[in-house]
Structure 1
């Protein structure tokens, strides 16, 4: 499978508005345990979704496949892609690398990732996530993993200026369970989990969810297991011609979220910024040229 093209999840979500009631029921059943849901027999998928076998056959054709075996083969390729480590990703990219300069190829891939990602995001969901992040009546917790902690730290640094009652949890730390002691119903968790999904992050999400926390998830096109617990999920396209996945698309979403939240809270945020600048002046942290 060419990772840069649409996943089956992308195809389903792009057609949700045009599906019949039975097909929509099937689509949501597939997405509920995607991509493993379609790996069994066709009759098993129909039974799980409580639809007829012909409904599954029609749905597969609507998604652009000649039959159920081709649909399953694509799902298996997606499972392989989810599990790739940096070395195998580099090898698969290098084998088919075109001759154009990497600057252009990587830029084209990032632009394509952004276009596909934005095409799948519901603006109402994004606005809701921003409103939840701006709500200071509840605590806000931000969680990242081994690589995605850089995105979590970037968001935390800005949110810390914008609003109070915010905590950055290092999900790879043995101390993270301590943070859950103070979690209350309605508190908000922003969680970053992209392939290769981390067991610590899933366990943290499960425990936070059990305490009534609301979860906003930033994940990849194949979706972290945390999406089953998340109230809002943003699936970002991350594949580029590199041994490493790209953070450009989730970073774009984060910068947009930061801008939105500061706008929602501007009165209080402005006061916090002015107080922070005063402290910077007192500590002489930054050089002044006037």
Structure 2
């Protein structure tokens, strides 16, 4: 793995507090229209951000690039990565795969993904997202894409034990409009969208945003287009030595959110769990040995 394999966006967010006023203005513009704004000419980027061309060069060097051309090359590589299919992913990592056993190789990457993901998250932002999900005055809708629906299903299964008014909404096909119809201002839409970002999820997010919903997004290191609409977005590292992306880091975020939501109003959560356990006993759902 490279010494610094962070995306341009990750570097922008990590260095933001160290930037000058003009550089922050440029960083904001790039993040609002990421990565497309950075793929044009240096003049077009400077004009769009209302800064000078030398500011663009200075920012690129502060982020660790030799200059604007290197930064732009990194953006092009990122764009290619977001649209790569499983075969392309396999072929890319297999070319330089180390000799270690597959289990150790995968574990090393998964642990690195978790460390990088957690270090990139602002605790205050995480707490604000957990507060939204815990707010019983708000209905919560949970959705994901073709693969990421597994994360959505996992979060939903646990969240609906913790609190009422939680709905698992399919994010693809012809059914999402039915759920969008039920969303009201102030409700929460918890979304999962990883690379090869799905059009239906973006349309769902746009409809929810127009209805006044607060969107919480878990995406990858490059960032789903939904991030522009989200009140809170968390970027998890997902690359792995496999044809498939890894869900280890996103799952850590899911379980951390569940723990935070559960703890915010434990008395109500415990009472809801108690009533659920009584129903399980009545239905003899689980085997007991006494």
Q: Report if the CA contact (8 A) 1:39-1:76 is conserved.
A: yes
**SS of the residue aligned with 2:142?**
strand
**SS of the residue aligned with 1:170?**
coil
Query: 1: CA distance between counterparts of 2:196 and 2:40?
Result: 24
Moved more, 252-261 or 67-76: 67-76
Matched, 1:103 2:94: no
Cα RMSD for the two superposed structures: 1.4
**SS of the residue aligned with 2:181?**
helix
Deviation string, structure 1 residues 24-78 (Cα, Å, up to 9, x no partner): 1111111111111111110110000000111111111111122221221111111
Moved more, 100-109 or 238-247: 100-109
Q: Shift of the alpha carbon at 1:4?
A: 7.8
Q: Where does structure 1 lack aligned partners over 5 or more consecutive residues?
A: none
Per the normalisation by structure 1, the TM-score is: 0.97
User: In the alignment, what sits opposite 2:19?
Assistant: 19
User: In the alignment, what sits opposite 2:151?
Assistant: 151
User: In the alignment, what sits opposite 2:236?
Assistant: 236
Pairs within 5 Å for 1:41-60: 41-60=41-60
User: In the alignment, what sits opposite 2:122?
Assistant: 122
Structure 1 segments of 4+ aligned residues over 4 angstroms from their partners: 1-4
Q: Shift of the alpha carbon at 1:192?
A: 0.5
Query: 1: CA distance between counterparts of 2:223 and 2:168?
Result: 22
Q: Where does structure 2 lack aligned partners over 5 or more consecutive residues?
A: none
Deviation string, structure 1 residues 210-253 (Cα, Å, up to 9, x no partner): 00001000000010010110010000000010000000001001
Q: Report if the CA contact (8 A) 1:3-1:239 is conserved.
A: no
**SS of the residue aligned with 1:182?**
coil
User: In the alignment, what sits opposite 1:210?
Assistant: 210
Matched, 1:9 2:12: no
Moved more, 91-100 or 64-73: 64-73
Per the normalisation by structure 2, the TM-score is: 0.97
User: In the alignment, what sits opposite 2:86?
Assistant: 86
